[in-house]
Structure 1
Amino acid sequence: MTLSPLRLRLLVGSLLVVSFLGALDHTIVSTSIATIGGGLGALEQMSWIMVGYTLAATVMLPVLGKLGDVVGPRRVFLVSLLLFIVSSAVCGFAPSIEWLVGARIAQGLSSAGLQLMSQTIIARVTSPRERPRFMAIVGSAFPVAIVVGPLLGGLITDYLSWQWVFWVNVPVGLIALVIAMTAVPALPGGARPRFDIPGAVVFTFSLVALVLAVTWYGDATLRSVSLVCLVLAVCGLAALFLIERRAAAPLFPLPLLRDRTIAACLGLSAIIGAGLFAMTSYLPTYFQMAFRTSATLSGVVPIATVLGMLVGNLFTGYLVARTGRYRVYPIIGTILGASGMLGMAALPLGAPLWAPAALMCVVGLGTGAFMNLIVAVVQSAAPQDQLGSVTAMSNLVRQVGSTLGTAAIGGVIGFGVAMLLPSSLDPSTLTPQLVHTAADAVQDTVAVIYHDLYAPIFAALAAVYALGIIAAVRLPAGRLSDELPPVAPTSSVPTDVTSASTSAI
């Protein structure tokens, strides 16, 4: 669909605001979660405020992607935005933890719809060559929200009340809704309005079981339940594979995985989730313990990482839009990611803080170089009537990689600290504040433990990025097309990416 330059700018601005709103909602709550749990008298259940949100956002990705293909992305986008506004208001008025978790589930569902449909709408109104630039602009909302969210959440909690963490979404969301109703064009659904209900049910059950298995494994009292959930998840995923092979309109278009471009891009999506996103939440603790920094100063390195992501994201989006060539950027990006993580693994104890900040900036720069680009490329390799589904697959693989990677890293850190700490220190009560007020010998011991424990983790993440180099090299050396997608696609043959033999890097 061809839009005027003014209409396209208005659309991109609208999607950027909405994407930022959805990304901010996740990061802004993390700062206030303890205050929220205490205010509702449910500190022992406060983790469900985040788990419920994450579960809903993850399991609904393929369902919403398919729904967007069937009824059109505009309808799913507007309904998701309206649900997000309503659920945000309900969260603020929640009188109990059960009420809040239920509203957070609705928020997670709607946030997934906003993220997914923003990318799908961009794909429907721009040519494959233009797409990376606009995708980079809309995608810049995420790294900005990582920095702004915790700070804004802390300010709101300190000077207003935790309810405003949710209520702040309402006025901004209403403005975005008015703009979106004007800016987002009417986009038709697919030619075959069928939906894979059995696949959706089995997938939801399987992924919920998998996330619960990962979430509960670190709790010794729930470890047996976690293993049961893991078995159920494996059985469910096996059943899902059989269902999808026989479904007339599968939730996951498995034949698309035979496409070399799509398979490589999905592999790179998993690398982003498992390689960087899984590590970011553990970086502040590492620097507070191993480098003995304050909580404020420990945020310098994550900010440097996010700055690198933002620069890499916008710069490569601009370059790909100019030339149409894309393969070189994931290759360079994964090499930078592997090099930065390897440098972190080799970093000596006592190094100045600017050294890890520079290394993680390199990791962020490399990851940003292909973070949103691969979404645009995978869309260009898919049939137009399956854009929502293939976009959902890319986001889902990244989210699952992040969830499993976060759990794995957390398990290693928790087990390692408990095993290596002297018997005089209790790992369950060990906080940075406690360590910083302890004797110098204790601080030295804790610093060595955390440095030695994190070094092999960084080395493992470097290996993850090295696998990404292999996936990036397997991308065909094509050039993105200048042709706009058809208004009502019916073909099932990918046409957006030229053959690897017709163009070289």
Structure 2
Amino acid sequence: MPLSPLRLRLLVVSLLSVSFLGALDHTVVSTSLATIAGELGALTLMSWVVVGYTLASTVLLPVLGKLGDVLGARRIFLGSLVMFLAASLACGFAADMTWLIAARVLQGMSSAGLQLMSQTIIARVTTQRERPRYMAIIGAAFPIAILVGPVLGGAITDYWGWQWVFWINIPVGAAALALALVAVPHLEPVPMPRHFDIAGAAVFTTALVALVLAVSWAAESSGGLATAAALAVSIAGFIAFFLIERRAAEPMVPLHFFANRTIAAGTALSAIIGVGLFSITAYLPTYFQMAYQTTATVSGLVPIATVFGMLISNLLTGWLASRTGRYRIFPILGTSMGAVGLFVMALLPAGLPLWAPMIVMGVVGMGTGAFMSLIVAVVQGAAPASQTGTITATINLVRQIGSTVATAIIGGVIGFGVAALLPSSLDAATLTPQLVHAAAPEVQAGVAQIYSSVFTPIFIALAAVYALGIVAAVLLPHGRLSDDPVPAPEAPSTSLSA
């Protein structure tokens, strides 16, 4: 559905604003968590403010994607935005932690709809050739939110109170809603028989909830029987889901899509972003505080360099792909940069000036940004227009699951590895950067060496993940993005135009 240039610009502004709100809401809360838990008197439930949000935003992706195809992307987008504003209001008025967690679950559900429908709407109103540029602009919301979210959250908490971390969404979101009502076109679902896969949705949601709970509990070392039971339920659920989807008239996740080389390779590349980079970012500050003896503030410079590189290359490659029509070279170069950068991180000796790992991780970020949004646009172009929401949800889902599972695994490896190598005079449970920095030089050097030894195989493993990404990128079909005004082909067997 082609739009006038002015209408398209207004639409992009609206979608970017809403995407930024949804992405920011995930990062801005982190620095206010301790204050919230203290005032509401529930420190033990603090992690569920984040886990509840993440869980809801993850498990609803395929459901919302399918609903967008059945009911229309505009309806789901506007409904999600209204729900997001209501949930933000409820979060600020929370009188106890249970109330706040419930409101955060609603926020996570609506945030998933905002992010997903933003990408789906862009796919429905642009050609394949235009899509990477606009997808990159909307995709920039995520790295920008990572950069400014923690600082903004801390400032709001200190000066206005933690409630305004949520209430600040109301005026911004209301303005975005007013703009969206004008700018977002009425996108009717592509005519075809419509049957919502209720059985598949129920089983998949159950399996995914169990998986996220299992990896969350494992990461918190609360493990035991509950973790094992959740993992067993998850495995059984995914097996049942596979069997249901094979027989469903209109499956929630059409498995036959993966016979298409573009979709299969693109989905693998999306998963690699979650596994290879998003999973390690949260642990980088701890690594540099311990191995490089930096302060907490300084240690944050490396993730900032990573995200900044991601932001720049995301915008650049989106513009280049739209200008030239070529797309395959960017994921090949990007995965190569990621693999080399992470391998170099494994070889860097502790104690180097901080600018050295900043440059290296900046290269990893640039490599990831080179195909982060682009691959979504490419995969959308290989799916039928009638299932744009479904395929967009799938590619986002594998990225989120990959990040969640890999983050838990890396956390477990770090916790176990450090505890096993620490001398008996040091307790891993009470070891803090402040304690290490105040210790004798030989203790500092020993801890730095331990953290280097634990992180080295992690960096090598993640480099290997990106190396697999090179294979997936090479398997993408040759071709150019089409200028055809039809948003997407009507059969999964047809891909990007040659």
TM-score bracket, normalised by the shorter chain, equals over 0.9
Q: Kindly indicate whether the alpha-carbon contact (under 8 Å) linking 2:350 and 2:449 is maintained by their aligned counterparts in 1.
A: yes
Q: Kindly indicate whether the alpha-carbon contact (under 8 Å) linking 2:381 and 2:489 is maintained by their aligned counterparts in 1.
A: no
- Deviation at 1:219? 4.3
Task: Determine the structure 1 residue equivalent to 2:336.
Answer: 335
Greater Cα offset, 346-355 or 431-440:
431-440
- C-alpha distance in structure 1 between counterparts of 2:381 and 2:491, whole Å: 13
- Deviation at 1:220? 4.6
- Deviation at 1:404? 0.6
- C-alpha distance in structure 2 between counterparts of 1:460 and 1:35, whole Å: 36
- Deviation at 1:311? 1.1
Deviations 1:357-384 (A, max 9, x none): 0000000000000000000000000000
- C-alpha distance in structure 1 between counterparts of 2:313 and 2:220, whole Å: 38
Q: Kindly indicate whether the alpha-carbon contact (under 8 Å) linking 1:190 and 1:490 is maintained by their aligned counterparts in 2.
A: no
- C-alpha distance in structure 2 between counterparts of 1:236 and 1:312, whole Å: 38
- Deviation at 1:446? 1.1
Q: Kindly indicate whether the alpha-carbon contact (under 8 Å) linking 1:380 and 1:494 is maintained by their aligned counterparts in 2.
A: no
Q: Kindly indicate whether the alpha-carbon contact (under 8 Å) linking 2:343 and 2:460 is maintained by their aligned counterparts in 1.
A: yes
Q: Kindly indicate whether the alpha-carbon contact (under 8 Å) linking 2:68 and 2:76 is maintained by their aligned counterparts in 1.
A: yes
Task: Determine the structure 2 residue equivalent to 1:294.
Answer: 295
- Deviation at 1:399? 0.1
- Deviation at 1:221? 4.3
- C-alpha distance in structure 2 between counterparts of 1:186 and 1:344, whole Å: 48
Give secondary structure in 2 for the equivalent of 1:217: helix
Give secondary structure in 2 for the equivalent of 1:89: helix
Q: Which amino acid aligns with 1:228?
A: A
Q: Which amino acid aligns with 1:144?
A: I
Task: Determine the structure 1 residue equivalent to 2:415.
Answer: 414
Task: Determine the structure 2 residue equivalent to 1:491.
Answer: 490
Give secondary structure in 2 for the equivalent of 1:479: coil
Call closer, same or farther: CA 1:108–1:221 in 2, change over 3 Å.
closer
- Deviation at 1:106? 0.3
Task: Determine the structure 2 residue equivalent to 1:104.
Answer: 104
Task: Determine the structure 2 residue equivalent to 1:179.
Answer: 179
- C-alpha distance in structure 1 between counterparts of 2:177 and 2:186, whole Å: 15
Task: Determine the structure 2 residue equivalent to 1:480.
Answer: 481
- C-alpha distance in structure 2 between counterparts of 1:297 and 1:158, whole Å: 21
TM-score, L = length of structure 2: 0.98
Alignment of 1:347-496 (within 5 A): 347-485=348-486, 491-493=490-492, 495=494
Alignment of 1:27-426 (within 5 A): 27-191=27-191, 192-426=193-427
Deviations 1:157-186 (A, max 9, x none): 112211111111111100100000100000
- C-alpha distance in structure 2 between counterparts of 1:277 and 1:87, whole Å: 26
**Structure 1 stretches of 5 or more lacking a match?**
none
Q: Which amino acid aligns with 1:417?
A: V
- C-alpha distance in structure 2 between counterparts of 1:437 and 1:82, whole Å: 50
- Deviation at 1:218? 3.6
Q: Which amino acid aligns with 1:445?
A: G
Give secondary structure in 1 for the equivalent of 2:223: helix
Q: Which amino acid aligns with 1:27?
A: T
Q: Kindly indicate whether the alpha-carbon contact (under 8 Å) linking 2:153 and 2:165 is maintained by their aligned counterparts in 1.
A: yes
Q: Kindly indicate whether the alpha-carbon contact (under 8 Å) linking 2:257 and 2:492 is maintained by their aligned counterparts in 1.
A: no
Deviations 1:324-371 (A, max 9, x none): 110111000000000100110000121111110000000000000000
- Deviation at 1:494? 5.3
- C-alpha distance in structure 2 between counterparts of 1:478 and 1:243, whole Å: 35
- C-alpha distance in structure 2 between counterparts of 1:379 and 1:17, whole Å: 22
Q: Runs in 1 of length 4+ with deviation above 4 angstroms?
A: 493-496
Q: Which amino acid aligns with 1:105?
A: V
- C-alpha distance in structure 2 between counterparts of 1:368 and 1:218, whole Å: 27
Give secondary structure in 1 for the equivalent of 2:119: helix
Deviations 1:66-104 (A, max 9, x none): 000001100000000000000001001011111111100
**Structure 2 stretches of 5 or more lacking a match?**
none
Q: Kindly indicate whether the alpha-carbon contact (under 8 Å) linking 1:385 and 1:490 is maintained by their aligned counterparts in 2.
A: no
- C-alpha distance in structure 1 between counterparts of 2:468 and 2:219, whole Å: 27
- C-alpha distance in structure 2 between counterparts of 1:68 and 1:485, whole Å: 18
Deviations 1:288-313 (A, max 9, x none): 11001111111111111011101110
Q: Which amino acid aligns with 1:352?
A: P
- C-alpha distance in structure 2 between counterparts of 1:189 and 1:36, whole Å: 42
- C-alpha distance in structure 1 between counterparts of 2:64 and 2:220, whole Å: 32
- Give me the CA root mean square deviation: 1.2
- C-alpha distance in structure 2 between counterparts of 1:72 and 1:490, whole Å: 18
Deviations 1:423-457 (A, max 9, x none): 11111111112211222222111111111111111
Q: Kindly indicate whether the alpha-carbon contact (under 8 Å) linking 2:261 and 2:476 is maintained by their aligned counterparts in 1.
A: yes
Call closer, same or farther: CA 1:120–1:141 in 2, change over 3 Å.
same
Deviations 1:169-223 (A, max 9, x none): 1111001000001000000013223200000000010000011111112445432
- C-alpha distance in structure 2 between counterparts of 1:453 and 1:300, whole Å: 21
